[in-house]
Structure 1
Amino acid sequence: MITLQYLLWCFVTLLSFVQGAINVEEVIQLQDDNHMIYLNPGNIDSIINGIRPYYVAVLFTTSDQGLNCGTCDKFLPSYHKAAAAVNALEKYQNLIMFTIAEVHDNKEVFRQLNLNSVPKVRLYPPSPNVTTTLASEFYEYAVTEASFDPLHFANAISKMLAISIVVPQDFDITEFSSYFLITFAVIIIFKKLVISKAPKYKLLQLFSVAAVLMFVSGYMFTVIRGIPFISRDENGEIMYFSGGTHWQFGSETFIIASIYAGLLICVVLLAVTIPAIADDTFKRDLLTIIVTGLLFYIICYHNGIYMIKDPDYPYKLLSV
């Protein structure tokens, strides 16, 4: 039987949660110029606990030089850049509240959560419940050496929330010079060996094929959504293919374009070039077998890429 005393206790408990909560506008006022909120015992409960319509990203870290946390110092700029990138997009403003919880300011919180090492990053989803706390459901991002690249952390946030985040890259004069020299050399070689000797209609055909491959490979998709050209996994290794059908890296489009080019070459060889060999039946049959095998290999390779992006895809061919 529910007693009046129990009902009063429930009412007081609910009222304490509601009174302790603050609205979005008040949370925004706690942000500094870098869109960052530093958590402390006076604000951590009201920002994270209870009902809230926004995500909360919490970086558990330390700036105490006595603790000698080099990883904390190296990851902090990536965290700041991701926060700035999200808040730079009007439609995503206030979608995520980026916060930092320092060890020396939140010792009791670290003890309650049993956090014995830093840095740790947790992403708390919006909550409709008044009983939500720091111990409630969350997504955790593993900080590794790859995390020192702002794109890695931004990609993780993008996948968790299914949004597109563009992180401005610092200008690297060395990298720019390398790309410039390589591009310049390729243009000079192409001009001397191809443009000066090939007929104009051949150049037009080449340009048309290149344009078609660029557009069907999804290159414009990555440009429009501002997706990074390459990304790295938790071990710092380059990720050539993203793990989702709604997302692809810039480098992935060039790989797909190369596959399409290979398929195109095989089809042209089988339909036009090889049948034109009329004086040597053995050579024609041998080339047909070789090119057909190559065509099947490319199709299997392309199928394998799609299996990476969608493991539940039912039409699996040979693994290559």
Structure 2
Amino acid sequence: MHLKIILFWFIVTCSVYVGCIREERTKSLDQKVLQLNDMYAKKFVMRFNGPKFKEFVKNPPRNYSVIMMFTAMASHRQCSICGHASDEFVVVANSYRYAHRLDGPLYFGIVDFDEGSDIFQTMRINTAPVFMHFPSKGKPKPLDTMDIQRLGFAAEMIAKWIQERTDVQIRIFRPPNYSSTLALSILFAICSSFLYVRRNNMDMFFNKNLWGIGAVLFCLTMISGQMWNHIRGPPLMHRNQQGIITYIHNSSQGQFIVETYIIIVLNTILVFGAILMTDSYTKKTESKTRKIMAIGGLALVVFLFSVILSIFKSKAHGYPYSFLIK
């Protein structure tokens, strides 16, 4: 009889204790969400230091996800792409705020290296910028870190990655940019003025060399990857863990902005070499001059073609062919 009474009171005590723990846990979660909403109402992208990061992002309980950008905005950190990446990240955060209600389930935050170097050490991050998703339950997985080397950091790509990780769809709303409209208006005014001045002499528009140069410049711009840069918004260059700057992306699925300029310069010189070989046959000059033009043009074409093929081989791993340069 006494054993039954003791067992009864033991079960009652355990039930009360578990209920208190759950109530305290719920109260703690409600307080965290309330504090987050207060910070979120003041600024869409919240800045986190060590204590705030540990309290709101690392420690449970959480019923919300956090998209965090790790960056190094100070000028002495020499992060050339951090400013542009931050602008794109803010566009995504503002777009989410405009389309969704205030209270979660998704929050956006920034950790700057100079304000939270301990966080970088805890998360084992040795580069910037880095975009990470902290889910409501569990720890971040490898796919919760955005691969900006492959995807870039344009706002549209960040929003697509967030949708893959959280099932939250974000429609990007960019602030109006009148600079392109102004530039087109000025260009239209200049062209109209030029046509008006030359209205009695339009022979230049029938010049084959002019149209040929325009076509070549257009082709060089397109094959260098400028349109890919406009769509994906890749970084300018990459600094690896050893601090070495890389100008050529090591994958065929990505490229850097500097890389496109390198390619367009190489292709321009290659085209110049091809023009030299062509003119060496068509121009009526001394045979010695034509021979120099032909040999010089051939040397440029062969060497530049080897360099471009070598770059392609370094990006397309497993490509078996090379010429002069391995």
TM superposition score normalised by structure 2? 0.48
Q: Computing the radius of gyration over CA atoms, which structure comes out larger, 1 or 2?
A: 2
Greater fraction helix:
2
